[in-house]
Amino acid sequence: MNQAPTLEQQIEFQIRTSGPMSVATYMGLCLTHPSKGYYKNQDPFGAKGDFITAPEISQMFGELIGFWVVNLWQQMNEPKTFTLLELGPGRGTLMSDVLRVACRAPGFRDALDLRLFETSPALVAEQKARLEAYDPKWLENFENVGTGPIIILANEFFDALPIRQFVRKENGWHERQIGLDGDKRVFGLSPTPIPPMSMPPGVADAAIDEILEFCFGGAQLMSRLSQLVSRQGGAMLAIDYGYARTQTGETLQGVRRHAYADVLEAPGEVDLSAHVDFEALASVARQSGLAVQPLQTQGGFLTDMGISHRATALAGANPNLAQDIRAAEQRLVGADQMGELFKVLCAHSPGLQPSGFGA
Protein backbone atom coordinates (compact mmCIF):
# COMPACT_ATOMS: atom_id res chain seq x y z
CA MET A 1 0.00 0.00 0.00
CA ASN A 2 1.25 3.48 -0.86
CA GLN A 3 1.63 5.79 2.09
CA ALA A 4 1.57 9.55 1.62
CA PRO A 5 5.07 10.96 2.13
CA THR A 6 5.76 12.81 5.36
CA LEU A 7 6.55 16.53 5.24
CA GLU A 8 10.16 15.61 6.06
CA GLN A 9 10.30 13.31 3.01
CA GLN A 10 8.70 15.94 0.80
CA ILE A 11 11.25 18.55 1.84
CA GLU A 12 14.11 16.09 1.24
CA PHE A 13 12.69 15.21 -2.19
CA GLN A 14 12.35 18.86 -3.13
CA ILE A 15 15.94 19.66 -2.11
CA ARG A 16 17.30 16.60 -3.96
CA THR A 17 15.43 17.46 -7.14
CA SER A 18 15.71 21.24 -7.25
CA GLY A 19 18.55 22.12 -4.89
CA PRO A 20 18.71 23.96 -1.55
CA MET A 21 15.60 25.96 -0.61
CA SER A 22 15.33 29.44 0.91
CA VAL A 23 14.48 29.81 4.59
CA ALA A 24 11.14 31.31 3.48
CA THR A 25 10.25 28.26 1.38
CA TYR A 26 11.14 25.96 4.28
CA MET A 27 9.20 28.07 6.79
CA GLY A 28 6.19 28.26 4.48
CA LEU A 29 6.11 24.48 4.02
CA CYS A 30 6.54 23.83 7.75
CA LEU A 31 3.81 26.28 8.80
CA THR A 32 1.17 26.16 6.09
CA HIS A 33 1.66 23.01 4.01
CA PRO A 34 -1.95 22.11 3.07
CA SER A 35 -2.04 18.80 4.95
CA LYS A 36 1.04 18.68 7.17
CA GLY A 37 1.88 22.28 8.11
CA TYR A 38 2.09 23.31 11.74
CA TYR A 39 -0.95 25.61 11.58
CA LYS A 40 -2.97 22.99 9.71
CA ASN A 41 -2.55 20.35 12.36
CA GLN A 42 -1.72 21.57 15.81
CA ASP A 43 -3.64 23.62 18.30
CA PRO A 44 -0.71 25.81 19.25
CA PHE A 45 -2.35 27.59 22.15
CA GLY A 46 -2.91 27.27 25.83
CA ALA A 47 -1.22 25.38 28.61
CA LYS A 48 -0.82 22.17 26.60
CA GLY A 49 0.09 23.95 23.37
CA ASP A 50 3.34 25.54 22.31
CA PHE A 51 2.74 29.13 23.34
CA ILE A 52 0.26 31.48 24.98
CA THR A 53 -0.72 34.83 23.47
CA ALA A 54 -1.90 38.09 25.05
CA PRO A 55 -5.66 37.57 24.48
CA GLU A 56 -5.35 34.10 26.05
CA ILE A 57 -3.66 35.61 29.11
CA SER A 58 -6.49 37.99 29.95
CA GLN A 59 -9.79 39.33 28.62
CA MET A 60 -8.50 42.84 29.42
CA PHE A 61 -6.31 42.79 26.30
CA GLY A 62 -9.25 42.33 23.92
CA GLU A 63 -11.56 44.59 25.90
CA LEU A 64 -9.18 47.54 25.66
CA ILE A 65 -8.82 46.94 21.93
CA GLY A 66 -12.62 46.90 21.83
CA PHE A 67 -12.66 50.45 23.26
CA TRP A 68 -9.98 51.37 20.71
CA VAL A 69 -12.15 50.10 17.84
CA VAL A 70 -15.30 51.89 19.06
CA ASN A 71 -13.40 55.13 19.47
CA LEU A 72 -12.25 54.97 15.84
CA TRP A 73 -15.70 54.04 14.61
CA GLN A 74 -17.05 57.11 16.41
CA GLN A 75 -14.31 59.33 14.96
CA MET A 76 -15.41 58.13 11.51
CA ASN A 77 -18.94 59.42 12.35
CA GLU A 78 -20.37 55.97 13.08
CA PRO A 79 -20.65 54.68 9.51
CA LYS A 80 -23.80 52.59 8.97
CA THR A 81 -21.68 49.77 7.66
CA PHE A 82 -17.98 49.12 8.14
CA THR A 83 -15.65 46.13 8.00
CA LEU A 84 -13.78 44.77 11.00
CA LEU A 85 -11.10 42.36 9.76
CA GLU A 86 -8.83 40.21 11.89
CA LEU A 87 -5.73 38.50 10.52
CA GLY A 88 -4.91 35.14 12.14
CA PRO A 89 -7.62 35.21 14.83
CA GLY A 90 -6.41 32.03 16.59
CA ARG A 91 -9.17 30.72 18.83
CA GLY A 92 -11.29 33.85 18.31
CA THR A 93 -10.60 35.01 21.86
CA LEU A 94 -9.38 38.50 20.97
CA MET A 95 -12.33 39.18 18.67
CA SER A 96 -14.90 37.88 21.13
CA ASP A 97 -13.53 40.19 23.86
CA VAL A 98 -13.38 43.10 21.41
CA LEU A 99 -16.99 42.61 20.31
CA ARG A 100 -18.42 42.04 23.78
CA VAL A 101 -17.24 45.56 24.62
CA ALA A 102 -17.75 47.25 21.26
CA CYS A 103 -21.31 46.03 20.69
CA ARG A 104 -22.42 47.98 23.77
CA ALA A 105 -22.06 51.14 21.67
CA PRO A 106 -25.49 51.83 20.16
CA GLY A 107 -25.50 51.12 16.42
CA PHE A 108 -22.15 49.31 16.39
CA ARG A 109 -23.53 45.79 16.07
CA ASP A 110 -25.81 46.76 13.16
CA ALA A 111 -22.96 48.45 11.31
CA LEU A 112 -20.53 45.55 11.80
CA ASP A 113 -19.39 43.44 8.85
CA LEU A 114 -16.98 40.92 10.42
CA ARG A 115 -14.25 39.31 8.30
CA LEU A 116 -11.58 36.83 9.35
CA PHE A 117 -8.43 35.68 7.55
CA GLU A 118 -7.19 32.29 8.74
CA THR A 119 -5.21 29.39 7.28
CA SER A 120 -5.98 26.67 9.83
CA PRO A 121 -9.19 24.66 9.38
CA ALA A 122 -9.09 23.64 13.06
CA LEU A 123 -8.89 27.27 14.15
CA VAL A 124 -11.61 28.31 11.67
CA ALA A 125 -13.86 25.81 13.47
CA GLU A 126 -13.03 27.35 16.85
CA GLN A 127 -13.61 30.86 15.49
CA LYS A 128 -16.96 29.74 14.10
CA ALA A 129 -18.04 28.35 17.45
CA ARG A 130 -17.00 31.48 19.34
CA LEU A 131 -18.07 34.22 16.96
CA GLU A 132 -21.15 32.75 15.27
CA ALA A 133 -23.45 35.36 16.81
CA TYR A 134 -21.63 38.09 14.87
CA ASP A 135 -22.07 36.38 11.50
CA PRO A 136 -18.40 36.35 10.43
CA LYS A 137 -17.19 35.67 6.89
CA TRP A 138 -13.80 34.13 6.14
CA LEU A 139 -11.68 35.74 3.44
CA GLU A 140 -9.66 33.76 0.89
CA ASN A 141 -7.91 36.91 -0.32
CA PHE A 142 -8.33 40.67 -0.05
CA GLU A 143 -10.10 41.26 -3.34
CA ASN A 144 -13.56 41.75 -1.97
CA VAL A 145 -13.58 43.46 1.41
CA GLY A 146 -16.57 45.78 1.06
CA THR A 147 -16.32 49.40 0.04
CA GLY A 148 -16.87 51.20 3.36
CA PRO A 149 -14.37 52.01 6.12
CA ILE A 150 -12.23 49.17 7.41
CA ILE A 151 -10.52 48.48 10.73
CA ILE A 152 -7.91 45.71 10.74
CA LEU A 153 -6.52 43.89 13.80
CA ALA A 154 -3.55 41.52 13.87
CA ASN A 155 -2.06 40.05 17.03
CA GLU A 156 0.97 37.77 16.62
CA PHE A 157 0.17 37.32 12.93
CA PHE A 158 3.08 38.94 11.09
CA ASP A 159 5.67 36.92 13.06
CA ALA A 160 4.24 33.74 11.53
CA LEU A 161 4.91 34.80 7.94
CA PRO A 162 7.95 33.27 6.23
CA ILE A 163 11.18 35.28 6.20
CA ARG A 164 14.22 35.13 3.96
CA GLN A 165 17.68 35.44 5.50
CA PHE A 166 20.80 36.99 3.96
CA VAL A 167 24.34 36.74 5.32
CA ARG A 168 26.92 39.50 4.77
CA LYS A 169 30.14 38.32 3.16
CA GLU A 170 33.13 40.19 1.63
CA ASN A 171 31.57 40.29 -1.83
CA GLY A 172 27.94 41.06 -0.88
CA TRP A 173 24.96 39.38 0.77
CA HIS A 174 24.30 35.67 0.23
CA GLU A 175 20.89 34.14 0.79
CA ARG A 176 20.82 31.52 3.52
CA GLN A 177 19.43 28.21 2.31
CA ILE A 178 18.53 24.80 3.62
CA GLY A 179 20.25 21.86 1.96
CA LEU A 180 21.23 18.30 2.84
CA ASP A 181 24.36 16.80 4.34
CA GLY A 182 23.74 13.08 3.75
CA ASP A 183 20.10 12.96 4.81
CA LYS A 184 20.40 15.63 7.49
CA ARG A 185 19.02 19.14 6.85
CA VAL A 186 21.68 21.83 7.22
CA PHE A 187 22.01 25.57 6.61
CA GLY A 188 24.19 26.78 3.75
CA LEU A 189 24.61 29.87 1.58
CA SER A 190 23.65 30.61 -1.98
CA PRO A 191 26.83 31.06 -4.03
CA THR A 192 25.43 34.13 -5.79
CA PRO A 193 26.09 37.42 -3.97
CA ILE A 194 23.55 40.23 -3.89
CA PRO A 195 25.16 43.70 -4.06
CA PRO A 196 24.91 45.72 -0.80
CA MET A 197 23.20 48.59 -2.61
CA SER A 198 20.06 46.49 -3.12
CA MET A 199 19.73 46.01 0.66
CA PRO A 200 18.08 48.49 3.09
CA PRO A 201 20.35 51.52 3.77
CA GLY A 202 20.15 50.88 7.54
CA VAL A 203 22.34 47.78 7.20
CA ALA A 204 24.94 49.24 4.80
CA ASP A 205 27.78 48.91 7.32
CA ALA A 206 26.91 45.44 8.59
CA ALA A 207 29.93 43.38 9.65
CA ILE A 208 30.91 40.11 7.94
CA ASP A 209 28.63 37.19 8.87
CA GLU A 210 25.78 39.37 10.13
CA ILE A 211 22.33 38.12 9.18
CA LEU A 212 19.55 40.26 7.71
CA GLU A 213 15.98 38.95 7.73
CA PHE A 214 13.35 40.09 5.30
CA CYS A 215 9.67 39.18 5.34
CA PHE A 216 8.58 39.53 1.75
CA GLY A 217 5.07 38.16 2.39
CA GLY A 218 4.53 40.56 5.30
CA ALA A 219 5.53 43.59 3.23
CA GLN A 220 3.33 42.48 0.35
CA LEU A 221 0.31 41.91 2.58
CA MET A 222 0.89 45.23 4.35
CA SER A 223 0.97 46.97 1.01
CA ARG A 224 -2.30 45.38 -0.10
CA LEU A 225 -4.06 46.19 3.17
CA SER A 226 -2.69 49.73 3.33
CA GLN A 227 -4.11 50.39 -0.11
CA LEU A 228 -7.51 49.15 1.08
CA VAL A 229 -7.41 51.38 4.17
CA SER A 230 -6.17 54.29 2.12
CA ARG A 231 -9.02 53.94 -0.37
CA GLN A 232 -11.86 53.06 2.02
CA GLY A 233 -10.77 54.92 5.16
CA GLY A 234 -9.93 53.31 8.49
CA ALA A 235 -6.98 51.95 10.42
CA MET A 236 -4.83 48.96 11.12
CA LEU A 237 -3.44 47.82 14.47
CA ALA A 238 -0.66 45.22 14.42
CA ILE A 239 0.78 43.89 17.66
CA ASP A 240 3.79 41.61 17.68
CA TYR A 241 7.28 41.03 18.97
CA GLY A 242 9.78 42.85 16.88
CA TYR A 243 12.12 45.76 16.41
CA ALA A 244 11.53 49.41 15.64
CA ARG A 245 14.34 49.87 13.08
CA THR A 246 15.53 47.58 10.32
CA GLN A 247 18.56 45.84 11.82
CA THR A 248 20.70 42.75 11.46
CA GLY A 249 20.60 39.77 13.82
CA GLU A 250 18.94 36.39 13.56
CA THR A 251 15.53 36.14 15.22
CA LEU A 252 14.12 33.04 13.53
CA GLN A 253 13.10 30.66 16.31
CA GLY A 254 11.46 27.31 16.86
CA VAL A 255 9.14 26.62 19.80
CA ARG A 256 7.66 23.30 20.78
CA ARG A 257 5.65 22.79 23.97
CA HIS A 258 6.80 26.03 25.64
CA ALA A 259 10.51 25.31 25.00
CA TYR A 260 12.90 26.47 22.28
CA ALA A 261 13.45 23.87 19.59
CA ASP A 262 15.87 23.51 16.69
CA VAL A 263 14.44 25.28 13.64
CA LEU A 264 15.36 22.36 11.39
CA GLU A 265 13.95 19.54 13.51
CA ALA A 266 10.57 17.81 13.04
CA PRO A 267 9.10 19.91 10.17
CA GLY A 268 5.45 20.75 10.79
CA GLU A 269 5.63 20.04 14.53
CA VAL A 270 7.65 23.06 15.62
CA ASP A 271 6.23 26.57 15.59
CA LEU A 272 8.55 28.78 13.56
CA SER A 273 8.45 32.55 13.85
CA ALA A 274 10.65 35.61 13.49
CA HIS A 275 10.63 39.08 14.98
CA VAL A 276 8.77 41.65 12.95
CA ASP A 277 10.61 44.53 11.25
CA PHE A 278 8.16 47.32 12.08
CA GLU A 279 10.17 49.93 10.17
CA ALA A 280 9.67 47.93 6.97
CA LEU A 281 5.90 47.61 7.59
CA ALA A 282 5.52 51.29 8.52
CA SER A 283 7.32 52.45 5.40
CA VAL A 284 5.06 50.32 3.19
CA ALA A 285 2.00 51.87 4.89
CA ARG A 286 3.35 55.40 4.37
CA GLN A 287 3.95 54.68 0.70
CA SER A 288 0.22 54.01 0.39
CA GLY A 289 -0.59 57.41 1.85
CA LEU A 290 -1.39 56.33 5.42
CA ALA A 291 -0.31 58.13 8.57
CA VAL A 292 1.68 55.98 11.00
CA GLN A 293 1.75 56.56 14.75
CA PRO A 294 5.16 56.45 16.46
CA LEU A 295 5.75 52.79 17.31
CA GLN A 296 4.42 52.12 20.81
CA THR A 297 5.31 49.30 23.21
CA GLN A 298 2.50 46.94 24.21
CA GLY A 299 2.99 48.09 27.81
CA GLY A 300 2.68 51.75 26.78
CA PHE A 301 -0.36 51.12 24.62
CA LEU A 302 -2.29 49.13 27.26
CA THR A 303 -1.38 51.62 29.98
CA ASP A 304 -2.57 54.48 27.81
CA MET A 305 -5.79 52.59 27.09
CA GLY A 306 -6.40 52.33 30.85
CA ILE A 307 -5.48 48.73 31.74
CA SER A 308 -4.95 49.58 35.38
CA HIS A 309 -8.52 50.98 35.74
CA ARG A 310 -9.87 47.94 33.94
CA ALA A 311 -7.91 45.62 36.26
CA THR A 312 -9.20 47.46 39.33
CA ALA A 313 -12.81 47.21 38.11
CA LEU A 314 -12.48 43.51 37.26
CA ALA A 315 -10.74 42.70 40.54
CA GLY A 316 -13.44 44.62 42.44
CA ALA A 317 -16.14 42.54 40.75
CA ASN A 318 -14.25 39.26 41.33
CA PRO A 319 -12.38 39.60 44.64
CA ASN A 320 -11.37 35.93 44.66
CA LEU A 321 -9.61 36.44 41.29
CA ALA A 322 -7.98 39.76 42.18
CA GLN A 323 -4.48 38.30 42.43
CA ASP A 324 -4.74 36.53 39.07
CA ILE A 325 -6.03 39.69 37.43
CA ARG A 326 -3.13 41.77 38.75
CA ALA A 327 -0.67 39.05 37.69
CA ALA A 328 -2.14 39.01 34.17
CA GLU A 329 -1.90 42.81 33.98
CA GLN A 330 1.75 42.58 34.99
CA ARG A 331 2.41 39.90 32.40
CA LEU A 332 0.93 42.06 29.64
CA VAL A 333 2.60 45.37 30.57
CA GLY A 334 5.70 44.42 32.63
CA ALA A 335 8.93 45.57 30.99
CA ASP A 336 10.57 42.24 31.81
CA GLN A 337 7.58 40.32 30.42
CA MET A 338 5.57 41.17 27.29
CA GLY A 339 5.40 44.93 27.83
CA GLU A 340 8.59 46.02 26.02
CA LEU A 341 9.31 43.21 23.59
CA PHE A 342 5.87 43.47 22.02
CA LYS A 343 5.19 46.56 19.96
CA VAL A 344 2.05 48.17 18.56
CA LEU A 345 1.99 49.58 15.05
CA CYS A 346 -0.93 51.74 13.96
CA ALA A 347 -1.35 52.93 10.37
CA HIS A 348 -4.48 54.93 9.57
CA SER A 349 -6.24 57.45 7.37
CA PRO A 350 -4.60 60.83 7.90
CA GLY A 351 -7.66 62.50 9.50
CA LEU A 352 -8.02 60.02 12.39
CA GLN A 353 -6.48 60.15 15.86
CA PRO A 354 -6.26 56.61 17.21
CA SER A 355 -6.21 56.31 21.00
CA GLY A 356 -3.45 54.51 22.89
CA PHE A 357 -0.51 56.43 21.48
CA GLY A 358 -0.20 59.08 24.13
CA ALA A 359 -1.59 61.94 22.03
User: Does 156 participate in binding ligand SAH (rule CB under 6 A)?
Assistant: yes
Q: Would you tell me how many other CB atoms lie within 10 Å of the CB of residue 3? A: 6
Q: Which is nearer to ligand SAH, 53 or 226 (CB)?
A: 53
User: Does 120 participate in binding ligand SAH (rule CB under 6 A)?
Assistant: yes
Out of 22, 25, 36, 55, the only residue in the binding site for ligand SAH (CB under 6 A) is 55
Q: Which helix (H) or strand (E) holds 343?
A: strand 342-348
DSSP secondary structure of 1-44: -PPPPPHHHHHHHHHHHH--EEHHHHHHHHHH-TTTSHHHH---
Q: Which is nearer to ligand SAH, 88 or 233 (CB)?
A: 88
| Residues in the chain, total | 359
Which parts of 158-187 interact with ligand SAH (CB under 6 A)? 160
Amino acid at 98: V
Out of 117, 166, 301, 342, the only residue in the binding site for ligand SAH (CB under 6 A) is 117
Q: Would you tell me how many other CB atoms lie within 10 Å of the CB of residue 143? A: 7
What does the alpha-carbon distance between residue 324 and residue 278 come to, in Å, rounded to a whole number?
32
Residues binding ligand SAH: number (CB under 6 A): 19
Amino acid at 289: G
Residue 118 Cβ vs ligand SAH, minimum distance, rounded to whole Å: 5
Binding to ligand SAH by CB under 6 A, coded x per residue (else -) over 10-49, reads ---------------------xx------x----------
Which parts of 316-335 interact with ligand SAH (CB under 6 A)? none
Out of 50, 56, 126, 175, the only residue in the binding site for ligand SAH (CB under 6 A) is 56
Q: Which residue is nearest to ligand SAH (CB)?
A: 88
Segment interacting with ligand SAH, rule: CB under 6 A, options 19-27, 129-137, 155-163, 165-173: 155-163
Closest CA to 235 of 76, 101, 98, 117: 76
Q: Which is nearer to ligand SAH, 167 or 215 (CB)?
A: 215
User: Does 227 participate in binding ligand SAH (rule CB under 6 A)?
Assistant: no
DSSP secondary structure of 156-210: S-GGGS--EEEEEETTEEEEEEEEEETTEEEEEEEEEEE-GGGS-GGGTTPPTT-
What does the alpha-carbon distance between residue 156 and residue 159 come to, in Å, rounded to a whole number?
6
DSSP secondary structure of 292-306: EPPPEEHHHHHHHTT
User: Does 108 participate in binding ligand SAH (rule CB under 6 A)?
Assistant: no
Residue 94 Cβ vs ligand SAH, minimum distance, rounded to whole Å: 6
User: Does 89 participate in binding ligand SAH (rule CB under 6 A)?
Assistant: yes
* CB contact at 8 A, 199 and 60: no
User: Does 94 participate in binding ligand SAH (rule CB under 6 A)?
Assistant: yes
Q: Which is nearer to ligand SAH, 173 or 342 (CB)?
A: 342
What are the residues binding ligand SAH (CB under 6 A)? 31-32, 39, 53, 55-56, 88-90, 94, 117-120, 123, 155-157, 160
